[in-house]
Amino acid sequence: MLSIVEQGLVRVVRVEERPVDLVRLSYRDEVGADHVVGLDQARHVAFERCRMARGIPSHRGQAHTPGRYWSATMGDLVEYESYLECKCFMLLDFDVDVVEFASQPMVIDGVDGQGSWRHVPDVFARRADGSAWLLDVKNPERLERPEVRLQAERTARVCARLGCDYQMVGEPAAQRGANVSWLSGYRRPVHLGAELMPRLVDLARRPVAIGDLLGFMEYPDVARAVLFHLCWRQMIVFDLDAPLRETTLVVAQAGAR
């Protein structure tokens, strides 16, 4: 079964396995020390905890919109290079299988039959089962360009040798992206109304419309914010590919309390 992010982003990389002649990875660890390693050593590096391998430029008139995203998963800010990259961070943050992720985690220097190349991937993520996931985020209009596909193929071959998954992704699916974006406004820890969580989960043991569910609560406006926080944490779920309305059916996940 595909994860939340894999369902929500366009998957575009399909490569045939071919050997990479020579590759080295550069990174900056969590205390700021610089390292250069081969692929065998890189398998043991926790890239999700590394500092950014390069700075993100910010200047007047630039095409991209850089900024910082606050991750509920890690309780910290993560720098992004574009608004599209921020959307990717948001979906990773929403994915319950992702426990940590880092921006601009490494520099890949390689040499293959087509010459030398250099690339800084956009995101490295670690899943709860320990598996790794490297992503590049590209404007959908650029996904089919030959140089972009070549970069994706080279990076995918490196990831195959590293033992981690790789995807080059574009724009999230529109409705799913809109729903997760709405829920992200409720991603921070709940204080006011936290005591309502067990009751909301209990009332949603069977599918119930949002409007009907909130009708059971003494303070529905407070309960609404708590409900959307529970949806962000996926303790209560609904169809992410349909518009979110008062009539939307929600249901508590098995095991949620």
pLDDT tens-place string over residues 184-210: 999 999 999 999 999 999 999 999 999
Residues 61 and 8 grouped into a single domain = yes
Average pLDDT, the chain: 91
Q: What gap in Å lies between CA 234 and CA 225, rounded to an integer?
A: 14
Position 4 scores a pLDDT of 47
Residues 119 and 97 grouped into a single domain = yes
Residues 99 and 211 grouped into a single domain = no
Residue 66 pLDDT > 70, yes or no? Answer: yes
Residues 42 and 164 grouped into a single domain = yes
Residues 8 and 51 grouped into a single domain = yes
Q: Domain tally for the chain?
A: 2
Q: 103-129: string of b/e by CB count within 10 Å (b at 16+)?
A: bbbbbbebebeeeebebbbbbbbbbee
pLDDT band at 220 (very low <50, low <70, confident <90, very high): very high
Residues 208 and 140 grouped into a single domain = no
The continuous run of DSSP H or E covering 169 comes out as: strand 165-172
Using the 3D structure, point to which of 116, 141, 172 is the last residue of a domain. Answer: 172
Segment among 48-62, 97-111, 152-166 with least mean pLDDT: 48-62
Q: Is residue 257 part of a domain?
A: no
Residues 199 and 148 grouped into a single domain = no
Range of the domain at 91: 4-172
Contact between 124 and 106 under an 8 Å Cβ cutoff? The reply is yes
What CATH number should be reported for the domain holding residue 149? 3.40.1350
Residues 179 and 240 grouped into a single domain = yes
Residues 60 and 146 grouped into a single domain = yes
Q: Is residue 127 part of a domain?
A: yes
The structure tokens listed for 11 are: 């998957």
- pTM to 2 decimals? 0.89
Residues 167 and 207 grouped into a single domain = no
